[in-house]
Structure 1
Amino acid sequence: MTEPSDAPSFRLSYVPGVTPGKWARIWGERRPHDPLELVPATTGEAVELVRTGAVDAGLVRLPIDRTGLHAIPLYTETTVAVVGKEHLLTAVEEAAVEDLADELVLHPQDDTLDWPDGRPGRPADITPATTAEAVELVAAGVGVLLVPQSLARLHHRRDLTYRPLTDAPTSGVVLTWPDAENSDLMEEFIGIVRGRTVNSTRTPRREGAPASGGPAPANKKAVRNRPARRGTRRR
């Protein structure tokens, strides 16, 4: 029998705001002896890690360069405007892009929103490097920030709030992995994110897995958070 310490691991990168916890829990139930390593990264870093083989797959936001990659759509996020608690936008439950025409809009360098008709509002002289830095500027009264709703929640502050933008581009989250023959572990994770049961013909059955699809005893060591590691992983 293969010892847990000798079992291959599945490395999954994920971008800020994306929460892989549900899928990680199911993985732990189905693959208690195959560790799932979670690697936080930006979208650009996550795609590079997938391309170089440093991770097996990534949970990223579109748009990305899909050359040589598979991509399964998972869900779509609403775009929101992050503003101070005293901002005029807080008088409404939701807003439109035209409501930001006179606003100073911050566009951090890690912004992945795709604005086909150009970004709304007046561009700020400051270009923050990250969303976190942009949030700090909004709190200082510098401008407003447009981000996927999950990022607004991730960077929540008591002095800030957000409002959905009804006509803004949305943000799609996908699972991406190399366009090559899938490993057994890759097929397992694809099955998990697609909602396949243990009994599905395309979901590999593992020794000791419950035939009914019910949870197996979870291994607390099955999921580990590790920093991004570049380069090709050892097979």
Structure 2
Amino acid sequence: MTSNRPILPEQEDGEPPQGLVLGAIPGASPDKWVSRWRQRYPEIPLTVRYDEDAGALQRVRSGEADIGYLRHRAQEPGGSDGSSGDLAELSETELFHRVQIYTEQAVVCAASDHWVAAAEEAVDWVDIAEEPFIDPADMGVSGSGAELAADERMAMEVVASGAGLLLLPNSVARALSRKDVVIRTLTDHPGFTVSLVWLRAKDSPEIQEFIGLARGRKQSSGRSQLEPAAGPKKGKKAKQAAARAEPSRRKSRQQPRSPRGRPPRGRRRPR
């Protein structure tokens, strides 16, 4: 199975990435952050590597990523927190910093002939809580060389057969949508919490700047610890040339034209 994980231009095969490495997950869209980073700090390369949800902390711990996305199911009605192994590890150790960046809408996926399909847009969590659910982690497809979200894709096939329902973040479900599976928004469900995590021991001005950028910090903020790339400076000669090229703002004093056969006003016709 061919891998479809996006690799940005500065990451070349056989060469270790330089600068910051951001570990992304299925459904994540860091393009806006990456674009702003490259505009402000072009001298500090930023590489994005996509991988599965599972193992996000391990990739940060091992140094595969300097900063990583972490997504987990938020506190659910009834007391279950849906904690993944990554979240459990995060709560038991002080190795990591963690900043929550947003909460993603949860959706339910069902076969097109399931009763859930009768709902036009949304269903209540309490109405489906007792239904059998498919766990993507039980698929065992993802691994080295597997395409991104392979377990979720296989779980979608199982759902299409009518074996059960599948709970997913909205972004992942939409990316894997198929004609024989319906996707409905879940109401009364807290959704999925998405955070950025990094090692406390590797904290740096570059990492802090990226976290600030992800949280909406403006370039003019006094909290920035990095100097943005300066634009080209104009020398004295360049400024003089620009001044000569600038069109004059003075109004030209041209003699007004007169109709044919009549002299300009204020002048006498020669005899």
Opposite residue 208 of structure 1, the aligned amino acid is A
Distance (whole Å) between structure 2 residues aligned to residue 164 and residue 42 of structure 1: 23
**Alignment deviations for residues 124-160 of structure 1 (CA, whole Å, 9 cap, x no partner):** xxx4232121011112332211111111112111332
Aligned ranges 1:129-168 → 2 under 5 Å: 129=140, 130-168=151-189
Q: What is residue 139 of structure 2 aligned with on the other side? A: 128
Opposite residue 122 of structure 2, the aligned amino acid is E
Q: What is residue 83 of structure 1 aligned with on the other side? A: 110
Q: What is residue 228 of structure 1 aligned with on the other side? A: none
2:209 alignment partner, SS class:
helix
Opposite residue 230 of structure 2, the aligned amino acid is G
Distance (whole Å) between structure 2 residues aligned to residue 45 and residue 205 of structure 1: 34
Aligned ranges 1:198-213 → 2 under 5 Å: 198-203=219-224, 204-208=226-230
Distance (whole Å) between structure 1 residues aligned to residue 55 and residue 202 of structure 2: 23
Q: 2:56 aligns with which of 31, 46, 54?
A: 46
Alpha-carbon shift at residue 169 of structure 1 (Å): 4.1
Contact 1:30–1:209, Cα closer than 8 Å, also in 2: no
2:193 alignment partner, SS class:
strand
Contact 2:106–2:170, Cα closer than 8 Å, also in 1: yes
Instruction: Give the direction of change, closer, same or farther, for the CA distance of 1:209–1:178 in structure 2 (3 Å limit).
Output: farther
Distance (whole Å) between structure 1 residues aligned to residue 130 and residue 47 of structure 2: 45
Gaps of 5+ in 2: 1-9, 12-16, 73-82, 141-150, 233-271
Aligned residues between the structures: 189
Percent identity of paired positions between Structure 1 and Structure 2: 34
Instruction: Give the direction of change, closer, same or farther, for the CA distance of 1:57–1:91 in structure 2 (3 Å limit).
Output: same
Instruction: Give the direction of change, closer, same or farther, for the CA distance of 1:9–1:142 in structure 2 (3 Å limit).
Output: same
Q: What is residue 131 of structure 2 aligned with on the other side? A: 103
Opposite residue 9 of structure 1, the aligned amino acid is G
Query: Comparing both chains, which one has the higher relative contact order based on Cα–Cα distances under 8 Å and sequence gaps of 6 or more?
Result: 1
Gaps of 5+ in 1: 110-126, 211-235
Alpha-carbon shift at residue 195 of structure 1 (Å): 0.8
Alpha-carbon shift at residue 35 of structure 1 (Å): 1.6
Q: What is residue 61 of structure 1 aligned with on the other side? A: 71
Q: Taking structure 2 as the reference length, what is the TM-score of the superposition?
A: 0.63
Alpha-carbon shift at residue 191 of structure 1 (Å): 1.6
Alpha-carbon shift at residue 209 of structure 1 (Å): 6.1
Opposite residue 171 of structure 1, the aligned amino acid is F
Between Structure 1 and Structure 2, the one with more helix by share is: 2
**Alignment deviations for residues 8-66 of structure 1 (CA, whole Å, 9 cap, x no partner):** 41101011111111111111211222221111122332211111222111011034122
Opposite residue 188 of structure 2, the aligned amino acid is D
Q: Taking structure 1 as the reference length, what is the TM-score of the superposition?
A: 0.72
Alpha-carbon shift at residue 186 of structure 1 (Å): 0.7
Alpha-carbon shift at residue 91 of structure 1 (Å): 2.1
Opposite residue 205 of structure 1, the aligned amino acid is E
Q: What is residue 225 of structure 1 aligned with on the other side? A: none
Contact 2:112–2:160, Cα closer than 8 Å, also in 1: no
Contact 1:198–1:205, Cα closer than 8 Å, also in 2: no
Distance (whole Å) between structure 1 residues aligned to residue 28 and residue 154 of structure 2: 19
Query: Runs of at least 4 residues of structure 1 off by over 4 A?
Result: none
